């Protein structure tokens, strides 16, 4: 950006060479450079602020993703623990108020009975689930 201004106040006031006043032109050029530098500094500041904001948002997003991963791992571990408890401990009860349901004895036997074609296995599984249901009806509700 070149700014050329007639820098003399009086038309007759010239340097010895007949050129315009060089000091005033230097002053005008310095002013133009300062204006340009100010614009560049403002643009750079804006860019730095935007990139900082983007880095902050990226960090927050990565933190949220890590938290979700940790939560999903915890839920998988909890699920594994619950399955292990319900499978290997027949006395593990889910208590809902006055109703207690033994998951391992009722549902797992009936599910495994559906997977095989052996009629004797089905009969044994049916008997076991019927006994478990009868035992549930007879026993009082126990809080866990």
Domain count for the chain, please give it: 2
**Spatial CA neighbour of 113 closest among 98, 100, 124, 101:** 124
Please write the tens of the pLDDT for every residue from 24-47.
788 888 888 888 888 888 888 889
Based on the fold, state whether residues 96 and 143 are members of the same structural domain: yes
Task: Lowest mean pLDDT of 2-11, 89-98, 123-132, name the range.
Answer: 89-98
Average pLDDT, the chain: 71
Reference 143, options 97, 86, 104; nearest CA is 97
Structure-block tokens of residue 143: 């809080």
Q: Same domain for 65 and 115? A: no
Classify residue 15: in a domain, yes or no.
no
Q: Is the predicted pLDDT of residue 119 greater than 50, yes or no? A: yes
Range of the domain at 108: 89-144
Distances in Å between the alpha carbon of 97 and those of 93, 116, 132, 139? 12, 35, 19, 14
For residues 142 and 114, state if they share a domain.
Answer: yes
Residue 7, in any domain of the structure: no
Residue 34 lies in a domain: yes
């Amino acid at each position: 950006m070149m700014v050329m201004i007639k820098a003399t106040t009086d038309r007759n006031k010239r340097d010895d060479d007949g050129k315009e006043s060089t000091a005033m032109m230097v002053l005008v050029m310095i002013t133009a450079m300062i204006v340009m530098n100010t614009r560049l500094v403002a643009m750079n500041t804006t860019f730095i602020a935007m990139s900082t904001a983007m880095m902050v948002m990226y960090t927050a997003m990565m933190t949220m993703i890590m938290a979700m991963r940790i939560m999903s791992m915890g839920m998988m571990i909890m699920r594994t623990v619950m399955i292990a408890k319900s499978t290997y401990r027949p006395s593990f009860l889910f208590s809902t108020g006055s109703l207690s349901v033994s998951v391992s004895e009722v549902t797992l036997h009936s599910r495994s009975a559906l997977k095989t074609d052996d009629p004797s296995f089905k009969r044994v599984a049916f008997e076991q689930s019927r006994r478990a249901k009868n035992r549930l009806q007879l026993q009082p509700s126990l809080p866990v």
